[in-house]
Amino acid sequence: MVIVTEVTISIDDFRFKIVDLRCSSMPLPLGHTAVGLAVHDIYSKSNNSGHLWKTLTFIIVLTNLPDMDVLIGLAVNGNGNFFHRGPTHSFLFALFIAFIASNGWRCWSKIPRISPLLCFLLVLSHVVADALLTNSPVSFWWPLELNLSDGHSSWREIIESVLFGAFRDLGTIVVSGLVIFLNRLIRNRPIPIPVILSRLVKGR
């Protein structure tokens, strides 16, 4: 005999289920880099972004810089969550890094001249992605607020997560790719993959 019971879901339950769709762990370097590439593509006015490797390195470093707090936590306390999502995940940090990165060329000629606004947007993209894609808050208005991560993350867990957990960011990577594709389509610019491949082959 089959007993059917009536199932009712309140509005609060429904909201809870929507919130739960977000990931409890952080987006990984690959996901943050994909978002940064989309930001850079929308920001760039021309297709000529200088040396490809320099541009890529610049995007990877700036979009992942806020997570240096994981390395600091591991070095100081053996716990990657110790300082995580504190000051480096704030509006103020994005402004500070934008100032430093956009003036880096004054100290070292190999650093390209980069717009302060682009630097700011790349760092901010990390903080916004963390805030929107996970259910753990960031310290956006630090020093007015401080929301450090709970729990414990060891070196092994962090390394395993970065090396083998990239599939978690697949959705972020696909959406970022779609944004780049649509941006290129709307602005009548070449689709990046053939351009990037040809430049990689030429080594510039």
* CB of residue 163 to Zn ion, shortest distance in Å: 17
Residues near Zn ion (CB under 5 A): 66-67, 130
* CB of residue 85 to Zn ion, shortest distance in Å: 6
- Among residues 49 and 172, whose Cβ is nearest to Zn ion? 172
- Among residues 49 and 73, whose Cβ is nearest to Zn ion? 73
- Among residues 49 and 65, whose Cβ is nearest to Zn ion? 65
Peptide bond into 27 cis (omega under 30): no
Helix axes 52-64, 192-202, angle to 10 degrees: 120
* CB of residue 181 to Zn ion, shortest distance in Å: 26
* CB of residue 166 to Zn ion, shortest distance in Å: 15
Q: Is 12 exposed, middle or buried (0-12, 13-18, 19+ CB in 10 A)?
A: exposed
Q: Distance between CA atoms of 44 and 23, rounded to whole angstroms? A: 30
- Among residues 66 and 73, whose Cβ is nearest to Zn ion? 66
Q: Give the tokens for residue 24.
A: 């409890």
Q: Give the tokens for residue 146.
A: 């401080």
Q: Distance between CA atoms of 71 and 158, rounded to whole angstroms? A: 9
